[in-house]
Amino acid sequence: MWTANRIMKRNSSLIRDSGRLLAGLLLFGGLSSATTIIATGADWNRGANIWIDANGTNEQTYFAGVIFITLNQDGQQYNRESLCVDLFTDIYLGQTYGSTVVSPNDVPGKDLNRVSWLLDNTLLPTEPSDPSTPSVLPQSDWVTNSAQGAGLQLAIWDIVHDGGDGFSSGLVQASTDPNNPTDPTVLSWAQTYEAASLGQSSNDAYIYSNVDVGNGQPAQMLAGPEFLDGGPMPLGIESPSPAPEPSTFLLAGIALIAVSQFLRKRARGQFVRPIE
């Protein structure tokens, strides 16, 4: 989860070493089709910081809403948008991660098909890549403001972690602290989106499965709508323009190299541990 005191933290040594590791991988023969991802910013016009109860702890998220991302593959750059999947895993702005683009069906146990339906019907219709995409929801429900963006993110977290059981039970709950309540407008939108998605399913969303190239640890998984930009697509789906599929071999190589990288760094106290 992005909390106010965690999102902007940096370990300069880790970033430098991660960059060297990444550069070495990209120059290594056979790995030139690597896909990498950078979270470049938060869209404050379609998101906000909100108070919630996360696993029993009253916390203010640094940001809940639409995240700008850049994917790089074979020297080509693709700018897209996404939202977080996992409330309890970090991702840092400006840091490069290895990424594999997969379909919701490829990720069990998180109900990402339901999340995909929400993205298809609330976020994709506003995307310039395909503005004509139909939605079964009224245009007033499309994500165009900060409360809607934060509400969509809150709904996704509850679906992923609690099966969409509402916001008064489970790991993801609305804050009832009178000093730090969940914004009622955001909560209302979260309830609207969660109710609309009940029983719905789609496999069209793009799921970005990310790994920290510096230490081999899983990074925040991101989910975004389908993009027709000729860039990285889920494995097994043919791209509308020539673009190699993301290399799963790359991620295996990153993990193997990162093991030794981690062991060396742990001794020097430079390992960055994700939020628990």
Higher pLDDT residue, 16 or 158? 158
Q: What is the DSSP string of 233-245?
A: --TTSPPSS--PP
What region does 140 belong to: left with phi over 0, alpha with psi -120 to 50, or beta?
A: alpha
Per the model's pLDDT, the better-predicted residue between 4 and 170 turns out to be 170
Please determine, for residue 244, whether its predicted confidence score (pLDDT) is greater than 90.
Answer: no
Name the percent of the chain lying above pLDDT 90. 63
What are 161-195's pLDDT values in tens digits? 999 999 999 999 999 999 999 999 999 999 999 99
Tell me what pLDDT residue 265 has. Answer: 41
Write down the pLDDT at residue 124: 80
CA distances in angstroms from 75 to 26, 35, 36, 72, 243, listed in the order given: 10, 10, 11, 6, 11
Looking at residue 129, its pLDDT comes to 55
pLDDT reading at 276 higher than 50: no
Burial class (CB in 10 A: 0-12, 13-18, 19+), 236: exposed
Q: What is the pLDDT of residues 101-124, one digit of tens each?
A: 999 999 999 999 999 999 999 998
User: Which stretches of 49-177 are assigned E, i.e. beta strand?
Assistant: 51-54, 57-60, 64-73, 76-84, 96-102, 172-174
Q: Is 13 left (phi over 0), alpha (psi -120 to 50) or beta?
A: alpha
- Under the banding of pLDDT at 50, 70 and 90, the label for residue 25 is very low
Q: Is a pLDDT exceeding 80 seen at residue 141?
A: yes
Domain limits, the chain: 12-268
Q: Which of 136, 230, 146 is nearest to 186 (CA)?
A: 146
213-242 confidence digits (pLDDT tens): 888 889 999 999 998 889 999 975 544 443
pLDDT tens, residue by residue, 29-60: 333 347 999 999 999 999 999 999 999 999 99
Q: Looking at residue 8, what is its pLDDT? A: 34
**Largest pairwise CA distance in the chain:** 58
Mean pLDDT estimate for the chain: 79
257-272 confidence digits (pLDDT tens): 443 444 344 433 332 2
- Distance in angstroms (rounded) separating the CA atoms of residues 93 and 67: 10
* Percent of the chain whose pLDDT exceeds 70: 71
Residue 25 forms beta bridges with which residues? none
Positive or negative, the Cα torsion across 227, 228, 230, 236? Answer: positive
Q: Residue 216 has what pLDDT?
A: 83
